[in-house]
C-alpha cells in the first residue's frame, strides 16, 4: 500500500511558540502546493531525559496540548508523536530521514529550524539534512531564527516567563494563550462554598507549573462553549495544610457540573500571588474582587 505524501515539520515544539509557527506555516504552504498532508513530528519525552539520564527542564506543554495547538493555530492535520527510546536515540541520522521520515511516513518535503539536530549524538544538522534531501529528491526548507523585541523566541525564554508568572509577556512570544488541557477531577467542593462552579485540573508530570497565584483564565468546554474563570495555582494555604499543588478554576457566570469533561484552560494574566487569608469569608471577598478584575480584563 502506498504511503500518503506528507510535508513534515521537525522539532520538539514545546509550547508551540511563534518560532515554531514559522516552520508550521511553511509546512502548510508546501503541503497545499504539493497536494500533501501537512504534518509534524514531535517526541513523547524530551530527548535530554534519556540522553542525560536525568529529568530535563520542565516542559511548557504536554504532547496532547502540543498536538492540539499545532492543529488549531497552524492547520497541521497529522501530529506524529515519536516514542523517544534507546532505539530512537541510537538511530543514525541518515536512517532517521531515509527510513523513518521518507520510508515510514512518506515525507516529500521537510521543514526544520536553523538549530535542529537529530540522530545518534545529534550528528544530523540542517546542512546535512539539506544535502541528504537533495540526494533523495525530497524538498527541504531550513527556517532562520525568529526574533521579537530583540530576543530570539525560544521555549527556554518562555519557560522563564511562565515560571515567574509573567503570563502576558509569555503569551506574546507564544502567539497564543498558555494552555492546559485536562479532565476535570473532584476537588474539595470549595466552589460551592464560594458560589462558583469549579474545575480542578492537574499539570501532567514533567510539565512546568506556573508561579503560584491567581490568574485570569478562560475555560473551554467539550461543546466549544467558553467562560472566563478565576484560577488559583498553588497549595491553597487558607483551606489546606499540605504541599500538593492544585489548579482550581472558579468559573464565572456559569452553572453546571463539568466533572469528567476534558476542558482547555487558557492563562492570560496573573492577578496576584497566593497567600493565606484569616478566614474563608476573607478568601471569598478576595475571590469576588478577582472575579471583577477578570471580567474587566476580558471586557477590554
CATH code for the domain in which residue 97 is found: 3.40.50.620
Q: Is residue 164 part of a domain?
A: no
For 243, phi and psi rounded to 5 degrees?
A: -125, 20
What pLDDT score does 72 carry?
A: 96
Q: Is residue 166 part of a domain?
A: no
Domain containing 205 — which CATH number? 2.40.30.30
What pLDDT score does 264 carry?
A: 97
CA 249/CA 232 separation, integer angstroms: 6
For 197, phi and psi rounded to 5 degrees?
A: -65, 145
What pLDDT score does 130 carry?
A: 97
> Residue 193 is part of which domain span?
177-297
For 28, phi and psi rounded to 5 degrees?
A: -60, -45
Give the three cell numbers for residue 277. 487569608
Q: Is residue 46 part of a domain?
A: yes
Q: Are residues 140 and 186 in the same domain?
A: no
Q: 249 with 241: CB under 8 angstroms?
A: no
Q: Is residue 157 part of a domain?
A: no
Q: Are residues 142 and 185 in the same domain?
A: no
Q: Is 273 exposed, middle or buried (0-12, 13-18, 19+ CB in 10 A)?
A: exposed
> Please, what sign has the CA dihedral across residues 225, 287, 271, 188?
negative
Mean pLDDT per 10-residue interval, the chain, length 300 residues: 85 96 98 98 72 70 94 97 83 95 96 93 94 98 96 96 98 98 79 75 92 97 94 77 82 89 97 89 91 95
Q: 112 with 142: CB under 8 angstroms?
A: yes
Query: pTM of the full predicted structure?
Result: 0.90
CA 56/CA 243 separation, integer angstroms: 23
Q: Are residues 53 and 137 in the same domain?
A: yes
Query: Could you give the number of structural domains in the chain?
Result: 2
Compute, in degrees rounded to 10, the torsion defined by CA atoms 41, 55, 21, 218.
Answer: 120
Amino acid at each position: 500500500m502506498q504511503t500518503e505524501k506528507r510535508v513534515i515539520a521537525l522539532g520538539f515544539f514545546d509550547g508551540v511558540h511563534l518560532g515554531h509557527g514559522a516552520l508550521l506555516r511553511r509546512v502548510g504552504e508546501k503541503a497545499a502546493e504539493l497536494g500533501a498532508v501537512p504534518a509534524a513530528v514531535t517526541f513523547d519525552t524530551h530527548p535530554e531525559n534519556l540522553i542525560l539520564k536525568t529529568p530535563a527542564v520542565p516542559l511548557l506543554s504536554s504532547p496532547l496540548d502540543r498536538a492540539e495547538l499545532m492543529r488549531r493555530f497552524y492547520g497541521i492535520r497529522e501530529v506524529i508523536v515519536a516514542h523517544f527510546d534507546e532505539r530512537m536515540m541510537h538511530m543514525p541520522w541518515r536512517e532517521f530521514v531515509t527510513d523513518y521520515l521518507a520510508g515510514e511516513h512518506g515525507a516529500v518535503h521537510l521543514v526544520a529550524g536553523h538549530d535542529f539536530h537529530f540522530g545518534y549524538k545529534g550528528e544530523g544538522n540542517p546542512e546535512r539534512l539539506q544535502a541528504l534531501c537533495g540526494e533523495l529528491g525530497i524538498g527541504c526548507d531550513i527556517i532562520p531564527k525568529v526574533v521579537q523585541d530583540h530576543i530570539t523566541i525560544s521555549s527556554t525564554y518562555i519557560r522563564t516567563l511562565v515560571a515567574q508568572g509573567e503570563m502576558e509577556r509569555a503569551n506574546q512570544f507564544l502567539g497564543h494563550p498558555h494552555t492546559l488541557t485536562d479532565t476535570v477531577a473532584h476537588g474539595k467542593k470549595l466552589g460551592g462554598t464560594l458560589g462558583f462552579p469549579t474545575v480542578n485540573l492537574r499539570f501532567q508530570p514533567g510539565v512546568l507549573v506556573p508561579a503560584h497565584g491567581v490568574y485570569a483564565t478562560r475555560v473551554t468546554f467539550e461543546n466549544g462553549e467558553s467562560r472566563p474563570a478565576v484560577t488559583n495555582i498553588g497549595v491553597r494555604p487558607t483551606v489546606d495544610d499540605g504541599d500538593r499543588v492544585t489548579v482550581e478554576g472558579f468559573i464565572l457566570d456559569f452553572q453546571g457540573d463539568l466533572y469528567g469533561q476534558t476542558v482547555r484552560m487558557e492563562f492570560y494574566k496573573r492577578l496576584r500571588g497566593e497567600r493565606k487569608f484569616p478566614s474563608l469569608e476573607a478568601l471569598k471577598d478576595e475571590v469576588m474582587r478577582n472575579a471583577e478584575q477578570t471580567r474587566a480584563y476580558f471586557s477590554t
